[in-house]
Structure 1
């Protein structure tokens, strides 16, 4: 049984994906381009081959295309393919191979993003490391300074304590030194220096001329009310002038003579108060009672010889009923003309007024305590 030629199955149009923004049309083959016929061998007994079926041309819808893809050439028309003989000698139409999918066009390379600079990262890393190191150094410096300041404060407190202790020790040492110095000065004052005493008192000692008699007088105490100088002497030195009603005597110092008035006398204690308008320095009187053995200096004008100095010691304190008061006995040499002269201790202070001596003996002089004269005449 012979069968007719099997018609060629129509080929469905293929859909090809293309660029999303470009539609690629597929052109249909021309009508006159049909599939070629394959001649059958004679005597094959096969009917004539069927007429070739044209392949309808259909447009291929556009598909999205990746960004940057380049459109390709449109597909088709495709060339006719010859029929091939099937097994058994029956020719059949060979379907035109249509690619199921058009390969995507090669992607256009995008310009690469600039790579991140490694140098910048390195610089940042260096800055981070440097900042960390500086921070550590700053913290270490602050800690070191704190510790140093604390140590210095402790040392300063210790120095202040030692300084206070040293000041206290210095104050105690100064006090002890002052005490020793005072004791030494006291001893030095007690140490007898006749030359020093004489130099201090001689400018205040005078020779007195009263009528036919001479003696000694000395300035005492502060200046007189009228601006002059107060003096002491013995009454028996000025007795002739006083008894004759006179009230003025002469005093001599360094060859200069000055008038001196007799203001008051005490015949019992043998003391006379004189005053001159000339200005001289008055001697200081002692406030303590003399003691036996105390060294003294006697200054006067014996026999008219001015500025005569003799030395000795206090021999004793005597009570003399005739003189109505105590007397100082001393062994310093005195002679006529010493009457009324000052008896001075080692501190250049007046302790008495020389008044007399025992005749026929040596080293037995007497003096009136200066305190008695000051009580009678308020000039000391």
Structure 2
């Protein structure tokens, strides 16, 4: 329905009689019935949707949550609501959707719809875009979120990924540097240990060389000592090839090669004069040298009756023994080689008992304790150095261990063949 102003209303004077009749009023728009609750017969009239809210205290902030008026929604009769400025008020009539709210007043939105931008939210409804959220209500859908933490910059995710890659690369580089440093330290330690090992080996080799030199020196000294030591076996082995059994008529004795080969060839030998005395006295000069199954003729060259020495010579070539350059000493070990009782290549050992100087018309003699018997006469008396020290010549009768020998120096000086 439409309503207008009555005729009692007066306005400014119009043309002519000073008054005018107003034209038809604009139509009043009634809100659809679905927008407001309907009154049902027999029931209390439904209250129109109303809300109260507190205006924000500061720009950008909202106050307390909207509070419904007392008795709202409890079935109580609604208060009188004006339908238009200056218009009538009817109980239960809902305000029209077309009239605007007064300045500073909020206009409730339609049920189920979010309030317009800049309006307070309605309880139970999501706030409009750009509005602060209601406690206990989900935020409104849309690109804009309430109270954003800050502006979203394009490319933020790639920048964060780049920073993460940079940090990762720095961490890996640091780990690589640490590993490289540890390996370098280990290599340095290993090099030091190898150097120490080389030095120890060099020192050990030097010490081994010194010890080896010392051992060689000691071995040489021991060889010399062994050579100087008395060894009857070695002495006998070296002397026997130069010692022979002598057959001179009915006499048997011993002879040995001495010195260098003879001037006209052959070998010079020494024996006792009493061995060849019978042949020499008979005017004969030939005797025979025997060794195992061999027999060599020899000639009596000269004799020394006072010292009981005879010089023989044979055409055969034999190794001559060497005369000792020094006189013997008491206690010196000796070997006597001969043919006692015709038993050739017999060896006995003993020591020098004493050196007896010449006296009573007799020359000097060597006393020794090696056993000798008839047939040893003319045999060599050998020291530990395989040198001839005397010529065995006699033994004491009715006594043991007393043998006598002519010093080799006496024979060499008398015949000049040594």
TM-score range, shorter chain: 0.5 to 0.7
Further displaced range: 153-162 or 200-209: 153-162
Change (3 A) 1:258 1:138: same
Task: Tell me what 2:389 maps to.
Answer: 351
**Partner residue in 1 for 2:187:** 145
Question: Which of 365, 380, 383 lines up with 1:327 in the alignment?
Answer: 365
RMSD (Å) for aligned C-alpha atoms: 4.4
Q: Which whole-Å CA distance do the structure 2 matches of 1:239 and 1:149 have between them?
A: 91
C-alpha distance in structure 2 between counterparts of 1:297 and 1:323, whole Å: 28
1:205-243, Cα deviation, whole Å (9 max, x unpaired): 212123443321012345556664332112333344445
Give secondary structure in 2 for the equivalent of 1:320: coil
2:308 is equivalent to residue 273 of structure 1:
no
Q: Normalising by the residue count of structure 1, what TM-score does the alignment of the two structures yield?
A: 0.54
For residues 225-283 of structure 1, give each alpha carbon's deviation from its aligned partner in whole angstroms, at most 9, with x where no partner exists: 66643321123333444455544321010021112233444444332332323333433
Q: Gaps (5+ residues) in structure 1?
A: 1-41, 44-111
Deviation at 1:313, TM superposition (A): 3.7
Count of paired positions? 270
Q: Distance in 1 between matches of 2:219 and 2:337?
A: 37
The answer to whether the 8 Å contact 2:272/2:308 transfers is: yes
Distance 1:119 1:282 in 2: 111
Preserved CA contact (<8 Å) 1:207 1:301: yes
Q: In the aligned structure 2, how far is the partner of 1:347 from the partner of 1:284?
A: 10
Query: Of 318, 322, 327, which aligns to 1:289?
Result: 327
Deviation at 1:323, TM superposition (A): 6.2
Residue 30 (structure 2) aligns with:
none
Question: Partners of 2:261 and 2:163 in 1: how far apart?
Answer: 106
Structure number with higher relative contact order (C-alpha < 8 Å, ≥ 6 residues apart):
1
The separation in 2 between residues aligned to 1:241 and 1:340, in whole angstroms, is 16
Cα separation, 2, equivalents of 1:296 and 1:169: 37
Residue 301 of structure 1 deviates from its aligned partner by: 2.8
TM-score (norm. length: structure 2): 0.50
Structure 1 residues 57-80: Cα deviation after superposition (integer angstroms, max 9, x where no partner)? xxxxxxxxxxxxxxxxxxxxxxxx
Which structure 2 residues correspond to residues 214-293 of structure 1 after superposition, within 5 A?
214-221=252-259, 223-224=261-262, 228-242=266-280, 246-293=284-331
Name the CA shift for 1:300/1:153 in 2 (closer, same or farther; >3 Å): closer
Q: Superposed, which structure 2 residues align to 1:296-335 within 5 Å?
A: 296-321=334-359, 325-335=363-373
Residue 368 of structure 1: how far off its partner (Å):
0.7
- After superposition, the Cα gap between the structure-2 partners of 1:130 and 1:271, relative to the gap in structure 1 and judged at 3 Å, is same
Question: Offset at 1:370?
Answer: 1.5
Q: How does 1:78-93 map to 2 (within 5 A)?
A: none
Partners of 2:271 and 2:379 within 8 A in 1: yes
User: For residues 122 and 259 of structure 1, do their structure 2 counterparts lie closer, same or farther at Cα, with a shift above 3 Å needed?
Assistant: farther
* 1:177, distance to aligned residue in structure 2 (A): 6.9
Which whole-Å CA distance do the structure 1 matches of 2:337 and 2:372 have between them? 9
Alignment correspondent of 1:13: none
Q: Hey, what's the Cα distance between the residues in 1 that align with 2:207 and 2:343?
A: 63
Residues in 2 aligned to 1:327 and 1:321: alpha-carbon distance in whole angstroms: 10
Q: How far apart are 1:366 and its partner, in Å?
A: 1.9
Distance 1:165 1:224 in 2: 55
Aligned to 1:370: 408
Residues 269 and 323 of structure 1 are in contact (CA less than 8 Å); yes or no, is this contact kept in structure 2?
no
**5+ long unaligned stretches in structure 2:** 1-14, 17-153
**Could you tell me how far apart the structure 2 residues matched to 1:234 and 1:213 are?**
11
Kindly report which structure 2 residues correspond to 1:174-193, keeping only aligned pairs within 5 A, or say none. Answer: 175=217, 181=222, 185=226, 189-190=229-230, 193=232
Distance in 1 between residues matched to 2:234 and 2:192, nearest whole Å:
64
Query: What's the offset of the Cα at 1:146?
Result: 2.6
